Structure 1
Amino acid sequence: MKIIIAGAGEVGFHLAKLLSYESQEITLIDIDKESLAYADTHLDIKVLRGDTTSIAILKEAKIDVCDLFIAVTAIETTNITVCVLAKQLGAKKTIARITNTEFINFKDEVGFTKFGIDELISPESLAAAEIELSLKQSSFNETYEFEDGALTMVGLTLSSSASFVGKMVKEAAEILPEIHFIPIAIQRFGTQYTIIPRGDTEFKRGDNVVFITSEGGAEELCKLTGKDNTDIKDVMILGGSQIGFKSARDLSDKGFNVKLLEANKERAFDIADDLPNVLVIQSDGRNVDILDEENISGMDAFIAVGDNSETNIMSCLVAKSKGVKKTIALVENMDYFELSHSVGIETLINKKLLAANNIFRYIRKGEVLAMTKLSNMNAEILEFEVKASSSICNKYIKNIDFPRSAIIGGVIRNDEGVIALGDFKIQEGDKVVVCSLLQSIKGVEKLFR
C-alpha cells in the first residue's frame, strides 16, 4: 500500500513510524529540513522536502498511484487544500487533520467528499472524547466504545481483592450465571509480553487485563474486582489548551461542575467569555499551594492537559496525594505509559496514538469499522463488519479456524452487544470485535474479506 503523509510534526512522524512497521510504502513530505532529516535517519521511509500544497511536489511523490493520502500539518486550511489537490491528482483516499470541530459536526451537510476529502480527524476532539469516556468509566484505566457503547473495552489492574485472582478463565466464568464480559488481553506484572487468554489461562495479582463488556458487564467487573465506579461530578482541568477547552465545554454541557486553571491571562479571559458555565481561574496550576487554595482535595477528578507531559504527570501525582480518585494526564512520550500506571495515574491520553488508531483502520483489509491499539501492549482491537463473502459468515465460532493469538471479544447484532462464545453463529451484517496480536492481524483480516 502506497501512503503519502503531508506534515512531519508529532502526529505525522508517529504515523509514519507506526505505518513503517507495517511494511507499507511511506512518503513523508514537509518543508522543515530538520524534521525530515530526523525522520529519514530513524525510519525506513522516503522523505521529500517541499511545500505540501505544491502540485510539482505531489507529483514527485507519485500522488497518481497513492492509495492513502494523509494531511496532518499544523495548519488546518493547508490540510484541506492539499487533500483536495491530492484527490484531483489521483489519490484513492484522503484524510485531513482539522481543529475546527464544526467541520466534523456538519461534514454530511457540507459534503466534504464531493470536493475530495474522504475523512476528517481532530486529535484534540478525539482526546476530549476519550477524557469524557474515562470519566464515565472511572474505575478503569483504559476504555473504548464500539457502536455507541453496545460493546465497551475496559482495562484494569488486578489487585489481591479481585475474586478471580488465582483462578483460570474458565473457572472465573462460572462465578456468574450470565456472562457480560470476557478477557481479551493480559499483560503480566513486570513484563512486556501480551497474552491472548484461553480457558486455562490463570489470572494473577498485578495483571493488567483488558476486557470486552456488554451491557452490565462493567458493573459486574467492578463488583468482582473490588473497584468502586465513583460517580464523577466535580472536575478540575489544568491547562486551557484546545483539549482543555473542548473538555471543559463538553463536560459542562453534560452537567459536570468544571473548574479550569490557565496561567496565561489573555487565554484565561477568552475561555471565561466562551464558557460561562465553567469557573476559569487565571493561575499557574503547577503550584501546590494554589491547587490547595482551589480545593483540589474536594475534586472527584483531575485532568492535566498542559503542553508539558512531565508537568501533567507530576500534577496528577499531586492530585492523587490530595485524595483525588480519578486522574487523567495528557502525555506525548509513549514510554511514560508503563511508568505512570505503576505510580497510580489511572488514565493517560496521547493525541498521536488516538489519531493513528483512527487512521489505521483504512490500511486494514476487510470492512474495518473501528480499531484501537492497546496502550503498552502488542495488540490491536478491531471491529469488522461481516459480509456474505466473508469466510467467517454462517459459521459457529467454535468451528472457525481462528489464529491462536487472536480472540473474538463480542458481536454486535441489531445494535445489541453480545459476548459470543463457541456456540454462537456469525451472520452477515454482524459487527465482530476482535483482539489480535500484531503477528496474527493478516490472518484475521482474511476471515472477513
Structure 2
Amino acid sequence: MKVIIAGAGDVGFHLAKLLANEEHDITLIDVDESRLNYANSHLDVAITKGESTSFKVLDQAGVHKCDMLIAVTTDEANNILTATIGKRLGAKKTIARIRNSEFLQKRDILDLRKMGVDELISPQLLATKEIKRLLKEAAITDTFEFERGLLSLIGITIDEEDPLHNRTLNETSVLNPDLNFLTVAILRDNKTIIPRGSTRFKMKDHVYYIAKPEGVDRVLKLTGKKQRKKIRRIMILGGSQVGYYAARSLSYKYNITLIEKDKDRCFELADKLQNTLVINGDGRDVELLEQEGIEEMDAFIAVTGDSETNIITSLVAKTHGVQKTIALVENMDYIHLSQNIGVDTLINKKLIAANFIFRYIRKGQVLSLTSIHGVDAEVLEFVVHENSRITEGKLKELDFPKTAIIGGVIRGNQSHIPLGDFEFRPYDRVVVLGRPGCIPKIEAFFN
C-alpha cells in the first residue's frame, strides 16, 4: 500500500514507524528539513520537502497513485486543504487531523466527504475517550472490551503480597481451573514479554490478561485486589481542551472537580460545564489540593500543558490515597515510565491518534484494534471466514507466530479461552495480541 503522510511531527513519525514495520511504501512530507532527515535516518521512508498544500509537492510525492493520504500537521486548516487537494489529484482515501471538535459535531451538515476529506481525527477527543475507558475500574491499569464485555483486556500491577508474585505461569495454572482468563503480555522494565509456561511473575510487573466476564473478578481476586471500588469522585487538573472534553463527558456519571489556574478560562469553563465544580488555583499547590478534598477522590486526571506538572501532581494524588491516576504527557518517551514512577497510566494524545489512524491501514477482517500504553504490541480482533487458514487444524498444529498469542474467541454469545486443542470455526471472532513485526503473519491466518 502506498501511503503519504503530511507532517513529520510526533504523530506523523510514529505512524510512519508503525507502517514501516509492515513494508508499506511511505512518503513523508514536511517543510522542516531536520524532521525529514531524522525520519529518513531512522525509518525506511521516502521524504519530500515542501508545503503539503502544493500541487507540485503532492505530485512529486506520488499522490496520484497513493492509497491513503494522511494529513497530520499541527495546522488543521492546512490538513483539511491537503486532504481536499490530494483527493482531487487521485488519493483513494484521505484523513485529516483537526483541533476544532465542531467539525466532528457538525460533520453531517458540513459533509466534508464532498470536499474530499474521508475521515477526521481529533487527538483531544480521542484522548478523552481513552480517559473514559481507563476509568471503568479503579484496580485495573488498562481495560478494553470486546463485543460488549464477552471478552475483556485488563491490566494489573503485581505487588509483593500478590499470590502470583515469584511464581511461573505453569505454577499458577491451578488458580485458573475454569480457564476463564489468559495471560497475554507482561511489561517489565520497559520490555514487552509474550509469556510462556516458564515465565515467572515479578514484583511491579504490569500483567495483561484476556478474560471472560467471570474471569475479570477471578484475576482481581488472585492479584489481591478483591475490592472493586467504583469510581465516583474525580479531580481533573487543567482546563485544556482535553480537560474540558473529559469533564463534559464524565460529569453525567461522576462528581467532577476541575482545577484551572487561568481565571478567565475558569469563568469560561464554569459557563460551559453545568455539572462540574470549577476551582481557580494552581494544582501544584498541595495545600490547595488538600483543601479541595483530594483525599476523598477516587481518581485524579492531570491534563495541563506541562508533562512534568501532570506527573508530579499525579504522584501527589497517589500519596494522598487516590486509587486511579492518569497523566497526560507530551513526550512519547515518557509512556514507558508509568510502571516505574507510580502513576497508573501515562497517555499521549499524539500516540493515541497515530494508533487510531493505523487501524485504517490494516488488511484482513480486522474488527477492532487497540494498543496498550507502553507495551510494544497490538491487540486485534479478527473474524474467521470459510477459507481462513486458521480453520485448517487445531491451534497447536497451525504454526502460529511465537511472538503472538490468541487470547480469546467469541462464538455467538459465548466466549472461550483457546488452548492447543481448540479448533476455529467460520464467524468466530478472535482476539490476538502480537508484536508489531509479526502482524502480517497473523493477518495471513484470517485473510
TM-score (ref. length: structure 2):
0.91
Letter in structure 2 aligned against 1:297: E
Q: Offset of 1:42 from its aligned partner?
A: 5.3
Query: Which residue of the partner structure matches residue 160 of structure 1?
Result: 160
Aligned to 1:396: 394
Shift of 1:314: 0.7
Supply the distance in 2 between the matched residues of 1:290 and 1:140 (Cα, whole angstroms): 28
CA spacing shift, 1:319–1:204, aligned 2, 3 Å: closer
Residue identity matched to 2:388: S
CA distance 1:394–1:430, shift in 2 (3 Å) = farther
Task: Tell me which residue corresponds to 2:430.
Answer: 432
The Cα offsets for residues 340-387 of structure 1, whole Å up to 9 and x where unpaired, read as 321211111111221122122233332222223333333222222223
Distance 1:416 1:80, change over 3 A: farther
- With over 3 angstroms needed to count, the CA separation of the structure-2 counterparts of 1:180 and 1:106, relative to structure 1, is farther
Match for residue 252 of structure 1?
251
Aligned to 2:187: 187
Partner of 1:355: 353
Does residue 1:124 correspond to 2:124, yes or no? yes
Letter in 2 for 1:280: V
Map 1:216-365 onto structure 2 (within 5 A). Answer: 216-227=214-225, 228-253=227-252, 255-365=253-363
Aligned pair in 2 of structure 1 residues 300, 446: CA closer, same or farther (>3 Å)? same
Deviations 1:161-197 (A, max 9, x none): 2223344434433324422211011234x4x543322
Once the two structures are superposed, residues 238-283 of structure 1 have per-residue CA deviations (whole angstroms, 9 ceiling, x without a partner) of 1111111111011102x20101111222222111111111111122
- Alpha-carbon separation, structure 1, partners of 2:224 and 2:377: 27
Structure 2 residue matching 1:429: 3-state secondary structure: coil
Partner SS state of residue 53, structure 1? coil
| Bigger mean CA offset, 259-268 vs 27-36 | 27-36
Partner of 1:2: 2
| Residue matched to 2:416 | 418
The amino acid across from 1:78 in the alignment is N
- CA displacement, residues 102-132 of structure 1 (integer Å, 9 cap, x when unaligned): 5556757876556543433222122111111
**CA apart distance, 1:390:** 1.7
| Superposed CA RMSD | 2.6
Q: Is the 8 A contact 1:5 1:72 kept in 2?
A: yes
CA contact (8 A) 1:124 1:351 kept: yes
Q: Where in structure 2 are there 5+ consecutive unaligned residues?
A: none
3-state SS of the aligned residue for 1:159?
coil
Task: Identify the range of structure 1 (271-280 vs 36-45) with the bigger mean alpha-carbon deviation.
Answer: 36-45
TM-superposed deviation, 1:36: 4.3
Is 1:29 aligned to 2:32, yes or no? Answer: no
- Counterpart position of 2:208: 210
Q: Percent identity?
A: 50
Distance 1:34 1:284, change over 3 A: farther
Which is further off, 303-312 or 178-187? 178-187
1:313–1:340 contact (8 Å) kept in structure 2 = no
Letter in 2 for 1:183: T
Which whole-Å CA distance do the structure 2 matches of 1:90 and 1:332 have between them? 34
Letter of the structure 2 residue corresponding to residue 143 of structure 1: T
Whole-angstrom distance in 1 between the partners of 2:210 and 2:108? 31
Match of 1:384 among 382, 385, 388: 382
| Residues 46-104 of structure 1, C-alpha deviations (whole Å, 9 max, x = no match) | 33333322222211211012122111123334333322332232222222223344555
Q: 2-side partners of 1:176 and 1:44: how far apart?
A: 44
Greater shift, 291-300 or 13-22, is seen at 13-22
1:92 match: secondary structure: coil
> Are the aligned partners of 2:206 and 2:339 in contact in 1 as well (CA < 8 Å)?
no
Provide the C-alpha distance between the structure 1 equivalents of 2:242 and 2:297, rounded to a whole number of angstroms: 19
Between stretches 415-424 and 7-16, larger displacement belongs to 415-424
Distance 1:104 1:389, change over 3 A: farther
In 1, are the aligned partners of 2:18 and 2:436 still within 8 Å (CA)?
Answer: no
Name the aligned partner's letter for residue 246 of structure 1.
Y
Superposed displacement of residue 425, structure 1: 2.8
Note closer, same or farther for the CA distance 1:432–1:238 as it changes in structure 2 (3 Å cut): same
Q: Tell me if 1:19 matches 2:30.
A: no
SS at match of 1:412: strand
The whole-number CA distance in structure 2 between the counterparts of 1:395 and 1:337 is 39
Mapping for residues 162-177 of structure 1, pairs under 5 Å:
162-177=162-177
| Number of equivalences | 446
- Does 2:83 align with 1:93? no
CA–CA distance in structure 2, aligned partners of residues 386 and 118 of structure 1: 28
- Secondary structure, counterpart of 1:314 in structure 2: helix
Taking a change above 3 Å as real, the CA distance of residues 438 and 21 of structure 1, as seen in their structure-2 partners, is closer
Aligned residue for 2:390, secondary structure, equals coil
Q: Is the CA contact (8 Å cut-off) linking 2:392 and 2:398 kept in structure 1?
A: no
Aligned position for 1:150: 150
Deviation at 1:318, TM superposition (A): 1.3
- State the distance in 1 between where 2:131 and 2:414 align: 25
Decide which moves more: 44-53 or 352-361. Answer: 44-53
TM-score by length of 1: 0.90
Deviates more, 1:439-448 or 1:304-313: 439-448
Q: Output the CA distance in 2 between the equivalents of 1:345 and 1:219.
A: 23
Q: In the TM superposition, what is the alpha-carbon distance from 1:225 to its structure 2 partner? A: 0.3
Question: Which amino acid is the alignment partner of residue 234 of structure 2?
Answer: V
CA contact (8 A) 1:365 1:446 kept: no
